[in-house]
Structure 1
Amino acid sequence: MATPNLSEIITTTLTARSGKIADNVTKNNALLTWLKKRGNQRTVSGGRSIVEELSFAENGNGGWYSGYDVLPMAPQDVLSAAEYSFKQYAVPVVISGLEQLQNSGKEAIIDLMEARLKVAESTMANAISQGLYSDGTGAGGKQLTGLDAAVPVSPNTGVYGGIDRAVWAFWRPQVLDMPALATKDTIQPAMNTLWASLVRGADKPDLITAGSGAWSTYMASLQPFQRFTDSSEASLGFPSIKFMTVDVVLDGGMGGFASSNHMYFLNTTYLHYRPHKDRNMVPLDPGRRTSFNQDASAQILAWAGNLTCSGAQFQGRLIAE
């Protein structure tokens, strides 16, 4: 006979796995792994949108003076904020009444649900991973707003976070477009040039993610030297090697979404993964959902949030194609 408390099994099984699902998403994406490692996952408690405060100008009252010189006291408008919409993603997990009967017994039902939950996990992991490199226009503008919006190929145009880059130069990332496909002899000089444009005092890139083509070219440029990946970074599950003082991480290949011949020079101090605290890969309430005209039960795994940036000028992109 079918298990009478099947809906409870579906709900409790998914609830128990929600933390594991979030962890699997992290393991599936190098960028997200590094953001979480650096403490840049900050949950959102509510609000109409996700807001990142930022400064966009110096205080114009500053200046040299002598003795009894009058000091300027004019009000200064130096603070603003970037605003990002909540993006939502869901994966319904469904079981029909017939499947309940065919998989009678608690253990059989759990086995069936385990298989379907694993598919739900990988589905959400791939969607979040792809979204972190997207421009947010996918699915009719409902997709997560990722690096293709934060560090676009054309950095002088478009509105990002509610700020028009054609108007505000401080909101433009640094993009270096090589005239031809990078080679092992040209990629490091290009990386040096882009790196120099992103350093301001203590501010500098602390992570470089690379697509498969750019990664391979950079590795080829290191062939004359003996280099080793950092053991602590390798333990995170992603191959990495150093450039200057930072990790260059392969985030392409099979299941990766970084553009093949691109490198993203990121200052993660100004990049934030912002899931909502009540919708971070958890089952939706109510725990049980049934169809009024179908013999079926369902539970929905859901996420809401976005990738945000509070310093676009500190982000860079090398286009080697």
Structure 2
Amino acid sequence: MASPGLSEIVTTTLRNRTGVLADNMSKNNALLYRLSKRGKVKPVCGGRTIVQELEYAENSTYQRYSGYELLNVSPSDVISAAEYDWKQASVAVTISGLEQYQNSGEEAIIDLLESRISNAEKTMRNNLSADMYSDGTASSGKQVGGLQLLVADVPTSGTVGGINRASYSFWRNQAFQATSDGGSAASATNIQRYMNTLYQRTTRQTDKVDLIIADTNYYNFYLNSLQAIQRITSDEMASAGFQSIKYMGADVVFDGGIGGGCPSNHMYFLNTDYLMWRPHRDRNMVPSGDVRSINQDASVNLILWMGNMTASNCQLQGVLFQT
């Protein structure tokens, strides 16, 4: 069996990198980076589900009156909540007794561990980033419910946060299908017209889209539709390493290319005031501690994450797409 000393090295090394991993996660994903910047990464202490409060209606007691006219003081039910299930993810870092003694000396062991830990961190980062675009159905529904769930191509059906979208129109996002709603497939010629329509649908007074995420095709359509003088970039996003340009004050971010998470021929219009990343406070990229095999000469440590992605307003989110 692997020595306790080795397990301590693994655990300590992972624990020291926990905060770095959580921080690097946001630097790997434009949406999570924006949520982090806007204070929308909110750890949860626990509970059976993740409860996300939402306002679904205006107060019905507003009235115009004169003099001694009686005023409406009836209770007004305007607050509800969506409930999101917990999702969990793990990546294992292992080392055998043979590898321990082949790499004798603490420094040699740490060198071996660092390469494996670095790979494990990238694996966790990349997979959770991809999950942020998902519909939550992978692995028999154990996947994080991402943008394809919260900002769906077909928002009139399905259940999000325990609320049936077929029954409640306030819980449906905006969707613009290029061919059926615009008349033809998206191109550099019409992309701005389509974007204008969706932008207007997702605007409510001062509430408006602040982040637009596009795949390779739609990003290039928008980029090619602009004259060089119009291509204003975002200092904030550029300094964080994300390729972006501006549209109506919103950052248009490219998330295509190798390993890009945005689905093909999709452009998401996001009001990040109403989107949240909700990790469990005690399971946000943390090591499990020593896990020793009872029938193998090996030591295993797990990087663990638990949480979900939530929305508190879907009407102000939109997707431009072509199926």
Same fold? TM cut 0.5:
yes
Question: Is the alpha carbon distance of 1:54 and 1:226 closer, same or farther for their aligned partners in structure 2, counting shifts above 3 Å?
Answer: closer
Which shifted more, 65-74 or 178-187? 65-74
Q: Identify the residue that residue 173 of structure 1 maps to in structure 2.
A: 173
- What residue identity is the alignment partner of 1:271? L
What residue identity is the alignment partner of 1:232? E
**TM-score normalized by the length of structure 2:** 0.95
Map 1:195-206; keep pairs closer than 5 Å: 195-206=199-210
Distance (whole Å) between structure 2 residues aligned to residue 88 and residue 318 of structure 1 = 30
| Rounded Cα–Cα distance in structure 2 between residues aligned with 1:235 and 1:255 | 21
Unaligned runs of 5+ in 2: none
2:254 to 247, 250, 253: 250
Q: Is the 8 A contact 1:3 1:104 kept in 2?
A: no
Match of 2:50 in 1: 50
Does residue 159 (structure 1) correspond to residue 170 (structure 2)? The answer is no
The letter of the residue matching 1:42 is K
Structure 1 position 28, deviation (Å): 1.7
Q: Report the AA paired with residue 187 of structure 2.
A: T
1:195 is displaced (CA, Å) by 0.4
Residues 174 and 313 in structure 1, CA contact (< 8 A), matched pair in contact too: yes
Indicate yes or no: 2:282 matched with 1:278.
yes
- How far did residue 258 of structure 1 move? 0.4
2:320 to 309, 315, 318: 318
Task: Work out the CA distance in 1 between the residues paired with 2:218 and 2:63.
Answer: 46
Work out the CA distance in 2 between the residues paired with 1:59 and 1:38. 27
Q: Which residue of 2 aligns with 1:90?
A: 90
CA distance in 2, matches of 1:307, 1:210: 19
Q: Which amino acid aligns with 1:265?
A: F
Q: Is 1:207 equivalent to 2:208 in the alignment?
A: no
Residue in 2 aligned with 1:239?
243
Which residue in the other structure is 1:185 paired with?
A: 189
Instruction: Give, in angstroms, the shift of residue 311 of structure 1.
Output: 0.4
CA deviation after TM superposition for structure 1 residue 57, in Å = 1.4
> 2:98 and 2:159 mapped to 1: Cα distance?
50
Instruction: Give, in whole Å, the separation in 1 of the partners of 2:205 and 2:137.
Output: 35
> What amino acid is the match of 1:74?
S
Cα shift at 1:58: 1.8
Tell me the amino acid that sits aligned with residue 176 of structure 2: L
Shift of 1:231: 2.5
Other-structure match for 2:141: 141
Q: Identity percentage over the alignment? A: 54
- The answer to whether residue 247 in structure 2 is matched with residue 229 in structure 1 is no
Alignment deviations for residues 255-296 of structure 1 (CA, whole Å, 9 cap, x no partner):
211012111000000000111111110102xx2111111111
Is 1:78 aligned with 2:90? no
> Structure 1: how far apart are the matches of 2:297 and 2:42?
40
In the alignment, what sits opposite 2:305?
303
Structure 2 counterpart SS, 1:15: helix
CA distance in 1, matches of 2:292, 2:307: 27
For the residue of structure 2 that corresponds to 1:22, the secondary structure is helix
- Distance in 2 between residues matched to 1:181 and 1:101, nearest whole Å: 61
Hey, what's the Cα distance between the residues in 2 that align with 1:229 and 1:163?
38
1:55-98: CA deviations, max 9, x gaps? 11122222111222222233222210011111100011111111
For the structure 1 residues 275 and 253, does the alpha-carbon distance in structure 2 shift closer, same or farther, using more than 3 Å as the test? same
C-alpha distance 98-68 of structure 1, shift in aligned 2 (>3 A): same
Q: Shift in Å at residue 230 of structure 1?
A: 2.2
SS for the counterpart of 1:104 is coil
- Report how far residue 108 of structure 1 moved: 1.0
CA distance in 2, matches of 1:38, 1:54: 18
Deviation at 1:21, TM superposition (A): 1.5
Deviation at 1:30, TM superposition (A): 1.1
**Structure 1 residues 313, 226: CA separation in 2 closer, same or farther (over 3 Å shift)?**
closer
Q: Which runs of structure 1 show a deviation greater than 3 angstroms over 4 or more consecutive aligned residues?
A: 223-226
Paired residues, number: 318
Return 170-179 or 70-79, whichever deviates more: 70-79
CA displacement at 1:130 relative to structure 2: 0.8
Q: 3-state DSSP class of the match of 1:312?
A: coil
- Which of 257, 265, 282 aligns to 1:261? It is 265
